[in-house]
Amino acid sequence: MSSSVAIHIVSPDQFDRGTAQTPGSERRAAIAPARGIASAIWGGLFEVAPGSRTGVHHHGEQETIAYVLSGICEIRWGERGKSVARAKAGDFIHVPAFLPHMEINRSKLKPFRWVVVRSTAQPIVVNLPDDIWP
């Protein structure tokens, strides 16, 4: 066994805010090549402030799995964003590759936070034009 193989513990004060972003939200990378951790997958936190929404975006070839830590999120996707689901603390979310979507925080008081794992090591974020959906 190689001595270079190790378990990595990444504390919140070490998360990288320099990862790919979408307006209206903040992503913080915990497990990523930019943090010096070689992995086939990406992991981090995602947060949307009270009363905010993200822009419409997709993650290219990446599939996304998220676990809702806190808050309630409305997720829109499909033709003109007409499909809607709500996720709350304790729920898991799966977002297929290439699916345009947006997240909305209808709470005026609390952010929502997710733990996110993506199917490739480098984050992919494709932000779409603001006027793509009404």
pLDDT digits (tens, 9 = 90+) for 87-115: 999 999 999 999 999 999 999 999 999 99
- The pLDDT score that the predictor gives to residue 39 is 92
Q: Tell me how many degrees the CA angle 65-14-61 measures, rounded to the nearest 5.
A: 30
Handedness of CA 115, 117, 123, 129 (dihedral sign): negative
pLDDT digits (tens, 9 = 90+) for 19-66: 889 989 999 999 998 888 989 999 999 999 999 999 999 999 999 999
